[in-house]
Structure 1
Amino acid sequence: MTAPLPTLLPIPPGTVNLADYERHAQARMDANAWAYFSGGAGDEITLRANASAWQQIELAPRVLRPLAHGNTQLQLLGQRLAHPLLAAPMAFQCLAQESGEIGMAYACAAMGAGLVVSTQASQPLDAIAASYLQDAAHGPLWFQLYLQHDRAFNIDLLRRAEAAGYQALVVTVDAPTSGVRDRERRAPFKLPAGIGAINMTGLPAAEPVRLTPADSPLFDDLLRHAPTWDDIAWLRSQTALPILLKGITHPLDAKQAVGLGANGIICSNHGGRTLDTMPATARLLPGVVAAVGGAVPVLVDGGIRRGTDVFKALALGASAVLVGRPLVYGLATAGAAGVAHVIRLLRDELEAAMALTGCRSMSDIGPELLAGDWQR
């Protein structure tokens, strides 16, 4: 059963880009939610670098090429997409606005954007799926999986996702523990009553461990159950769904992922939320693409704020991009209408970038349209 269509909220006059939405969202969120969604790890060096790295890449446009009947369509994992934009998995979206993941789903489906739903969604995964899939214009629907210590629970979550109609699994591999997030610690961040990881209900508690003063609560307790490559191989044996690994940034890991049967890779530094001083994903992407060698699609997230950023990611070899914080800012500002507008802005800007660089289709976008050292 689909959830009721969320009430559409007005978009503030003069809202013309994603930076406008960020300002509006900050004014609407309380300090608790703002710290959670906007903050990064440590000194937030990687958080800032993600956006600035795209800005530093310069374009080398071509002219007088035929442009009539151009489009942003592409094929991804056997599915036709209207454009290369997907919503990244983001937890607890009801913190941003009461329609939460349901509002996100309606907006993404209406705009033909792919949707990746977080394990830590604040609404039921089947209700989110039903809201998304009821629109014939929808794109790909994927479920992001944080592997838990209990394999029976993982199987149950997987079967629920399969039954609800999710078409691929996105396994986040770069967060065996949370990053050191100063903004959240200063807030201090806590989930309000009534908001939580509802799809995690029923997870058995891990067997307690007795620590000595010489033991580390992190390494000797929490990380006893951190996923490994063996868990990825096990998951591959449990489902026919395509599996994408999110958080791959090292070329050797990219090669190992392909060798284990991953169907796709998402080059991601977790939006700068885990390990600070990592390079921006714009700088990591070319190495991952080269390591994969076209065996599977490579997607990228982190710092996408303009259609030109999307264009540059595609020119560097990405098949598509995931967008995170800007969609939450759209949700906080104007609910589903804000999310839809953010997607429309990015698509319009991408189309303009394509036209102004002489590209009529996704296949026309390549590294020769990037200036200087970014050319390959």
Structure 2
Amino acid sequence: MPSESLGPEPPFLDLDRLEDAARELLPADVFDYYAGGAETETTLREAPDAWRSWRLRPRVLRGVTSVPLATEVLGAPVSSPIGVAPWAYQGMAHPDGELATARGAAAAGSLMTLSTSATHTLEEVATEIPGSPRWFQLYRLHSGRHTDDLARRAGDAGYAALVLTVDLPLLGRRHRDLRHDFALPAGLRMANHPADGDRPTLQDLATATWTFDDIARFGELSGLPVVVKGVLRGDDAVRCVRAGASAVWVSTHGGRQVDPAVPSAHALPEVVEAVGEEVEVYADGGVRTGSDVLTALALGARAVFVARPTIWGLATGGADGVAGVLSGLAEELAHTMALCGVDDVRSVPRDTVVPAR
């Protein structure tokens, strides 16, 4: 009987257990802010299962026993195609907040996307990980002058791309937050915003509406390539590219905006087909396993981004917790790719997945 040669079994990453541990540690309003979605939370609930609505088709006899995961995202080298999605108010989860997440992402060789609504300034985070790839996510909050200034600051601080989150013309109705009358805890503030926003409520977070013309405008202001996040339609993706986007990011905003919305796992193929090879496409929303990542890559994503798993890692283990989540997902991805006979994260064949019957 020939011996198996896939190497040792990778560590088991139990995200459900990690979430339960975070629930025990965090105040109820904070946990619900991170965990909750909009309206009936249908989009939130369906996101993980949508990735499982695809089935892997393994290749055999390919001699694949180990898989290097290194790739490039907008030209920046990363250790795996798994990055950190932007998420706000990380100081509620851990005293070091975004600084700890940045250290964890850097340790895992992953790309971090910093939220406009961070509890540390974009300059502080840049100083924390000067040699690691990082993007800055931009909302149109407060005055137009302030939004313009944030874009310029991101370019000056060495961020590699500007991520325009375009799916928030109005704040989604997040009933958990409304029940708690959510506000930032005392002592925390949105560090990238004027000091008069120390303890914002949900009603303070109204945004101005983006237009396609803003893509080129904010690229010029920042001097950075622009990634448009929140795209769920092929026709919108094409218009973004024509307007100057360097990449499009398929996202349902963590199920926190339109509900019920088409899951990212179902919208991704349409977006990829629409833009072809013109730009890179990314995805987030319910990615919880290495097989989910492989499915996204087979459907045409260049990389995926995760938020809630890294939140639970941050809450329970700080920078080490974040690094553990990202490394664990990467190990799962490499293991699944080897089992499927796929050896290159940059060119996963489309026929690696088919719809479940």
Equivalent in the alignment of 2:162: 169
Equivalent residue of 1:121, what SS? coil
Amino acid at match of 2:283: V
Q: Does 1:354 align with 2:347?
A: no
User: What whole-Å deviation, never above 9, does each CA across 1:283-333 have from its counterpart, x for those lacking one?
Assistant: 010011111111000000000110110000000000000100100010011
**Aligned residues of 1:169 and 1:241 also touching (Cα < 8 A):** yes
Q: Tell me the distance in 1 between the aligned counterparts of 2:62 and 2:339.
A: 10
Q: Identify which of 298, 302, 316 aligns with 1:315.
A: 298
Query: If the length of structure 1 is used for normalisation, what is the TM-score?
Result: 0.86
Equivalent residue of 1:351, what SS? helix
**Aligned residues of 2:152 and 2:221 also touching (Cα < 8 A):** no
Q: Tell me the percent identity.
A: 40
Alignment of 1:39-188 (within 5 A): 39-67=36-64, 70-134=67-131, 138=132, 140-148=133-141, 150-188=143-181
User: What whole-Å deviation, never above 9, does each CA across 1:175-225 have from its counterpart, x for those lacking one?
Assistant: 011101111112231211111211011689xxxxxxxxxxxxx9xxx67x4
**Aligned residues of 2:215 and 2:226 also touching (Cα < 8 A):** no
Alignment of 1:152-231 (within 5 A): 152-201=145-194, 225-231=208-214
Amino acid at match of 1:163: D
Equivalent in the alignment of 1:301: 284
- Structure 1's 191 and 370: CA in aligned 2 closer, same or farther, altered over 3 A? same
Question: Any stretches of 5+ residues in structure 2 without a counterpart?
Answer: 1-10, 198-202
Equivalent residue of 2:153, what SS? helix
**Aligned residues of 2:230 and 2:249 also touching (Cα < 8 A):** yes
Q: Tell me the distance in 2 between the aligned counterparts of 1:329 and 1:57.
A: 26
CA RMSD of aligned residues (A): 2.0
User: What whole-Å deviation, never above 9, does each CA across 1:91-143 have from its counterpart, x for those lacking one?
Assistant: 00011111100000001001101000000001111111111225xxx3x2100
Equivalent residue of 2:163, what SS? strand
- Structure 1's 285 and 203: CA in aligned 2 closer, same or farther, altered over 3 A? farther
Q: Identify which of 247, 250, 260 aligns with 2:233.
A: 250
Q: Tell me the distance in 1 between the aligned counterparts of 2:252 and 2:65.
A: 37
Greater mean alpha carbon deviation, residues 47-56 or residues 33-42: 47-56
- Structure 1's 105 and 234: CA in aligned 2 closer, same or farther, altered over 3 A? same
Q: Tell me the distance in 2 between the aligned counterparts of 1:294 and 1:314.
A: 14
Q: CA deviation at 1:358?
A: 0.1
Equivalent in the alignment of 1:271: 254
Query: If the length of structure 2 is used for normalisation, what is the TM-score?
Result: 0.91
Amino acid at match of 2:149: D
**Aligned residues of 1:17 and 1:342 also touching (Cα < 8 A):** no
Amino acid at match of 1:66: G
Q: CA deviation at 1:70?
A: 2.9
Q: CA deviation at 1:68?
A: 5.1
Equivalent residue of 1:340, what SS? helix
- Structure 1's 247 and 80: CA in aligned 2 closer, same or farther, altered over 3 A? same
Greater mean alpha carbon deviation, residues 362-371 or residues 111-120: 362-371
Amino acid at match of 2:162: L
Q: Tell me the distance in 1 between the aligned counterparts of 2:60 and 2:320.
A: 36
User: What whole-Å deviation, never above 9, does each CA across 1:210-241 have from its counterpart, x for those lacking one?
Assistant: xxxxxxxx9xxx67x42222323322332331
Amino acid at match of 2:28: A
Question: Any stretches of 5+ residues in structure 1 without a counterpart?
Answer: 1-13, 205-217
How many residues align? The count is 340
**Aligned residues of 2:48 and 2:286 also touching (Cα < 8 A):** yes
